[in-house]
Amino acid sequence: MVVHQTDGWLLRRGWNAKNCFCKAVDNNNYGRILKDFGSIQSCRGWLGCGCGDSAMISCGTTCEAKVRSWSKNNCPSQYSSTKIRASYSASVCHTGQGGQILSCGK
């Protein structure tokens, strides 16, 4: 008797997913992460979720809005003198930092 293990092979090969990852970082040191929001939006598709998908195109704008809301409403007082900026990664499509420099509580 020969058993072949193929469970999920076709789905793993054909199902494409991309994520938009978002962080609030110190404006003076992008490596200093103040808040990691993880994946804030994604796209999935059968053989097609490309960099042209709206979830990937809007990643930076959505991340900046998320960080802006966090900085106004949930930013811990320990960051009160820290300038904050959004940092995002739209899967393999593009990465960057938001254009706004924010302050905690403002």
pLDDT tens, residue by residue, 26-59: 999 999 999 999 999 999 876 678 899 999 999 9
C-beta separation of 63 from 6 below 8 A:
no
Q: Give me the mean pLDDT over the 61-83 stretch.
A: 96
C-alpha 26/C-alpha 104 separation (Å) is 11
The token duo for 94 is: 């593009």
Computed on alpha carbons and rounded to an integer, the radius of gyration of the chain in Å comes to 18
Q: What is the pLDDT of residue 56?
A: 93
Instruction: List the domain boundaries for the chain.
Output: 15-103
Element (H, E) at 86: strand 83-90
Confidence band for 15, pLDDT divided at 50, 70 and 90: low
Alpha-carbon dihedral 38, 50, 68, 79, rounded to 10 degrees:
40
The token duo for 14 is: 């054909």
- Single pTM value for the model: 0.82
Q: What is the pLDDT of residue 58?
A: 96
Q: What is the pLDDT of residue 6?
A: 45
Q: Tell how strand 83-90 and strand 102-103 pair up.
A: antiparallel
Q: Is pLDDT at 18 greater than 80 in this prediction?
A: yes
What is the average pLDDT value for the chain, to the nearest integer?
87
C-beta separation of 88 from 20 below 8 A:
yes
